[in-house]
Amino acid sequence: MKRFLLTLPAALLVAASTASALEVNITRGIGAFSVRHGEREVTIVRNQDTGATLEGDFALTSRPCPPFCAQPMQAAEGVATIGEVELVQFMRGPLADGSGLLIDARTPDWHRRGTIPGSINIPFTQLNRALGADEFALEDTLVRLGAKETATGWDFSGARQLVLWCNGPWCGQSPAAIRGLIEAGYPAEKLSYYRGGMQLWKVFGLPVVDPEGRLLEE
């Protein structure tokens, strides 16, 4: 995706050299890299145990539907749906240089149980008026995302590139957040949907941290 093909910080380019030292790489050219999560640097590297399997909530194959129904591939018109490779590109590019934000759109209780490194928690209920988002809180959030309120409305020219995610392809929280942002005026081309969410992140054996950035053991 063109929006993620940015110059990488020099410090992160060394990550590709680790690929030859690992049995389980992220991509053919990337073995590991680092992201900032709050005050901590977190190394993104896959579980090297090739016999590892999922346990707990994200090992489930069936959930009641509704509400846990398969989500459309596209969350909203004009919003790109991305996979793990594109998410890594985003983390190494816009997230690292500050032009992008990775948003965990789940409720705070889910966020506390573990999140994707580099994510900030902005629950979908705070981003969608139809789901009860308070107008003043929504305005504060838009400012946090880089939008500016003017005498004639909102200016999104300096708004950050966002990737939103939730628990997986069966989770409607990040799609609801995306629809709420678009309704508030956020440009669709500045939004991306990581549909795989936490479930696919875990399927790939990638690390999960608590809100303070401490690694959580499976």
pLDDT tens for 25-69 read: 999 999 999 999 999 999 999 999 999 999 999 999 999 999 999
Question: How many separate domains does the chain show?
Answer: 1
Q: Is the pTM of this model over 0.85?
A: yes
Residue 198 inside a domain? The answer is: yes
Residue 211 inside a domain? The answer is: no
In this structure, the number of other CB atoms found within 10 A of the CB of residue 116 comes to 25
Residue 41 inside a domain? The answer is: no
The pLDDT of residue 9 is: 38
- Tell me the CA end-to-end span of the chain in Å, nearest whole number: 32
Residue 80 inside a domain? The answer is: yes
The pLDDT of residue 70 is: 97
- Report percent pLDDT > 70 for the chain: 90
> How high does pLDDT run on average in the chain?
92
Dmax (CA) for the chain in angstroms is 59
- Report percent pLDDT > 90 for the chain: 89
The pLDDT of residue 69 is: 97
DSSP state of 59: G
State how far the Cα of 47 lies from the Cα of 69, in Å rounded to an integer.
29
Residue 11 inside a domain? The answer is: no
Over residues 68-113, the pLDDT tens digits come to 999 999 999 999 999 999 999 999 999 999 999 999 999 999 999 9
Residue 159 inside a domain? The answer is: yes
> What count of Cα atoms within 13 Å lies in the side-chain half-sphere of residue 142?
27
Residue 197 inside a domain? The answer is: yes
CATH number of the structural domain spanning residue 79: 3.40.250.10
Q: Which residues contact 124 (CB under 8 A, 6 or more apart)?
A: 105, 106, 107, 131, 166, 173, 174, 176, 177, 180
In this structure, what is the dihedral angle of CA atoms 208, 212, 214, 218, given to the nearest 10 degrees?
Answer: -40
Residue 38 inside a domain? The answer is: no
Tokens for 218?
Answer: 């499976």
The pLDDT of residue 13 is: 40
Domain that holds residue 146: 65-203
Q: The tokens 């392809």 sit on which residue?
A: 169
